[in-house]
Amino acid sequence: MNDSRGRMPPAHNEPVASYAQGTAGRAALIKALDEALAHQVEIGPIIGGREIRTGRTLQMRRPDDHARLLGICHLGGGAEAGAAIEAALAARHDWAATPWEERAAVFRRAAELIAGKYRYWLLAATMLGQSKTPHQAEIDAVCESADFLRFNPVFMEGIYADQPLSTQDEWNRLSYRPLEGFVFALSPFNFTSIAANLPTAPAMMGNVVVWKPASTALYSNWLLMKIYEEAGLPPGVINFLPGSGSAISEPIFAHRDFAGLHFTGSTKVFNSLWKLAADNLSSYRAYPRIVGETGGKDFIFLDPSADKKVAITAILRGAYEYQGQKCSAASRLYIPSSFGRDFIDELVAEIGSIPMGRVDNLTNFCGAVIDETAFDGMKPWIDRARHSPEASILAGGVCDKSMGYFIQPTLIGTTNPRYETMETELFGPILTSYVYDDKDMEAAYRLVDGTSPYALTGAIIANDRHAIVKALSAFRGSAGNLYVNDKPTGAVVGRQPFGGARGSGTNDKAGSPLNLLRWVSAQAIKENFNPPEDWRYPFMAP
Ligand code: NAD
């Protein structure tokens, strides 16, 4: 037993490798892509430290080349969810009793495995499985995943150090206990790093977890789980359970020991899960913690003073990187009328020059959308805009799923600021623009704030400081993450804690102490060193 008080080594953001021609990283990446394409994997649920084969399988294919099989995954269902809950609860006592430094060490080790030994395999699995370019896979699967696992232990240390006042004869302590039961982590397809964070943040704080990954991100997510095991995570602390969300959720939400939900995904699914928890409330041992980061309808607002080159770069990167499949991706654009037609022509020309195709052709900027359901769901919005009297397709608009699920980066122009694609989250490479009258800036601000039910991210592009101050004030409630002269995407752990309000979630800021605090329940302990020995108070003396 070590009685010294540990101090976490400092955390630094993982440097982003460029993969430019001639770099060693590029050669290693190409080798890893070739290997992943040459060797199909067979994977399955990992419950209580054992990887199982259920015989009910799903083929993992490339979104940008759907004839190409990456492997098969065995799926779990209700029975495996029951087994995962049992394994988690069996691991609970020992894990909760493990000193926080030892828990932290497991995840700090995992961060180094991600950034080192497994960097290129994880990149290849994310690129091929989720159709990300090298840069998008690097900032997500490697850098952000490692950052979560490096910074969260430091935040955890800060939480435990946060203690109430004491006096000479009275010692007050806060004990931050893990929740009583297990946490259910449900991750989306679009960020390997979110899949890294959702189960590990509660686990770090001493909780046990059942984790269901998205069915379109299984390869990279399984590899993360293998990395946690190699880093020394004890069996049962996190249980990896691919399968149908509704089938797995049923036994989870019905269980007395369901203690929390750590969710990132669509608003619709989050709302249905919150209702499920509410319906079962009386059967739970404690009120479950419900944490969800959900959809967005993120904006870029160009002030009349905006630098046009800065604006175009923020628009192209903010709206089209990873095919617009980021919760933070810009999907509505406000252009001042004083910018005129020339600006739109320049923007359209730039969008038209974006290279799109398979992501292992490293010259591409865009890949494919995640699957056929996403592709089929997106196309009708483009088709309707093509024929609407209120909208037109200014750039892109071509959809082709013959080889992969490709949707050209698309710009819709509308004369109706409440046109359907200004309000609804489409989650693809579709940006809608509206030209506002810059003689009435207050009306324009109100439009931005009131157009969608979400409040996730937004960007203001402006050079005039007064305009920046006014816009920051007008958009105070419009976004959980607000950017000035930058794209609205790309939050970095430790620098821009991420999350939105309104219909965008509970705003518990992933990658910050605010999130970790949701996974503990505090117990206040008062000890009296000088306990009174007479129950009577002095004022009672006759
Ligand atoms: P999704 O809601 O379809 O799926 C999220 C997870 O829930 C997946 O694991 C899925 O299998 C599971 N699921 C789906 N239906 C379920 C059901 N009925 N019961 C239980 N589980 C179910 O989301 P997605 O398509 O994977 O991701 C895209 C969405 O995620 C977008 O709306 C995007 O804005 C949002 N997102 C938000 C953030 C954020 O931080 N706010 C980050 C990334 C993605």
SS (H, E, C) 391-428: EEEEECCCEECCCCCEECCEEEEECCCCCHHHHCCCCC
Q: What is the pLDDT of residue 1?
A: 66
Q: What is the pLDDT of residue 4?
A: 84
Ligand 1 center to 129 CA (angstroms)? 17
CA dihedral 303, 307, 311, 314 (to 10 degrees): -120
Q: For atom 18 of ligand 1, which residue has the closest CA?
A: 246
- Can you tell me which atom of ligand 1 is nearest the CA of 425? 32
Q: What is the pLDDT of residue 531?
A: 98
- Can you tell me which atom of ligand 1 is nearest the CA of 504? 41
Domain ranges of the chain: 24-294+505-525, 298-484
Q: For atom 11 of ligand 1, which residue has the closest CA?
A: 214
**What is the rounded end-to-end Cα distance, in angstroms, of the chain?**
56
Q: 24-294+505-525 maps to which CATH number? A: 3.40.605.10
Q: For atom 13 of ligand 1, which residue has the closest CA?
A: 245
Among 293, 321, 399, 425, the one annotated catalytic:
293
CA distance 497 to 320: 22
- Can you tell me which atom of ligand 1 is nearest the CA of 498? 40
122-134, pLDDT tens digit by residue? Answer: 999 999 999 999 9
- Can you tell me which atom of ligand 1 is nearest the CA of 370? 25
46 strand-pairing partners: 51, 240
CA distance 232 to 228: 7
Q: What is the pLDDT of residue 108?
A: 98
Q: For atom 16 of ligand 1, which residue has the closest CA?
A: 245
Q: What is the pLDDT of residue 196?
A: 98
- Can you tell me which atom of ligand 1 is nearest the CA of 189? 26
366 is annotated as an active-site residue:
no
Q: What three-state secondary structure class fits 242?
A: coil
Q: What is the pLDDT of residue 6?
A: 79
Q: For atom 22 of ligand 1, which residue has the closest CA?
A: 245
14 is annotated as an active-site residue:
no
- How remote is the C-alpha of 218 from its chain's centroid? 15
Q: What is the pLDDT of residue 136?
A: 98
Q: Phi-psi bin for 255: left (phi > 0), alpha (psi -120 to 50), beta?
A: beta
- Can you tell me which atom of ligand 1 is nearest the CA of 500? 41
| Amino acid of residue 104 | A
Q: What is the pLDDT of residue 152?
A: 98
Mutational pocket test of ligand 1: of 75, 144, 186, the residue with most ligand atoms within 8 Å of the beta carbon: 186
206-262, pLDDT tens digit by residue? Answer: 999 999 999 999 999 999 999 999 999 999 999 999 999 999 999 999 999 999 999
Cβ neighbours for 473, distance < 8 A, ≥ 6 positions apart: none
Mutational pocket test of ligand 1: of 145, 190, 370, 430, the residue with most ligand atoms within 8 Å of the beta carbon: 190
Ligand 1 center to 294 CA (angstroms)? 7
- Can you tell me which atom of ligand 1 is nearest the CA of 214? 9
- What letter does residue 243 receive in the DSSP assignment? B
Give the pocket of ligand 1 (CB within 6 Å).
186-191, 194, 212, 214-215, 245-246, 249, 264-266, 269, 272, 293-296, 327, 425, 427, 456, 500, 504-505
Ligand 1 center to 371 CA (angstroms)? 14
Among 143, 327, 366, 399, the one annotated catalytic:
327
CA distance 246 to 533: 59
For the chain, list residues with pLDDT below 50.
none
Ligand 1 center to 295 CA (angstroms)? 9
Q: What is the pLDDT of residue 71?
A: 98
Ligand 1 center to 266 CA (angstroms)? 4
Query: Strand runs (DSSP E) across 298-345, as ranges?
Result: 298-302, 330-336
Ligand 1 center to 527 CA (angstroms)? 46
Ligand 1 center to 212 CA (angstroms)? 11
CA distance 369 to 322: 8
Mutational pocket test of ligand 1: of 75, 298, 327, 489, the residue with most ligand atoms within 8 Å of the beta carbon: 327
433, 419 Cβ separation under 8 angstroms:
no
Q: Which two tokens stand for residue 229?
A: 């095991």
Ligand 1 center to 381 CA (angstroms)? 20
Q: What three-state secondary structure class fits 186?
A: strand
Pure H helices in 131-260:
134-137, 145-161, 192-204, 218-230, 245-254
**CA-angle at 260, arms to 258 and 262, nearest 5°:** 130
Ligand 1 center to 172 CA (angstroms)? 42
Looking at domain 298-484, which of 3.40.309.10, 3.40.50.300, 3.90.550.10, 3.10.129.10 is its CATH number? Answer: 3.40.309.10
Q: What three-state secondary structure class fits 438?
A: coil
64, 404 Cβ separation under 8 angstroms:
yes
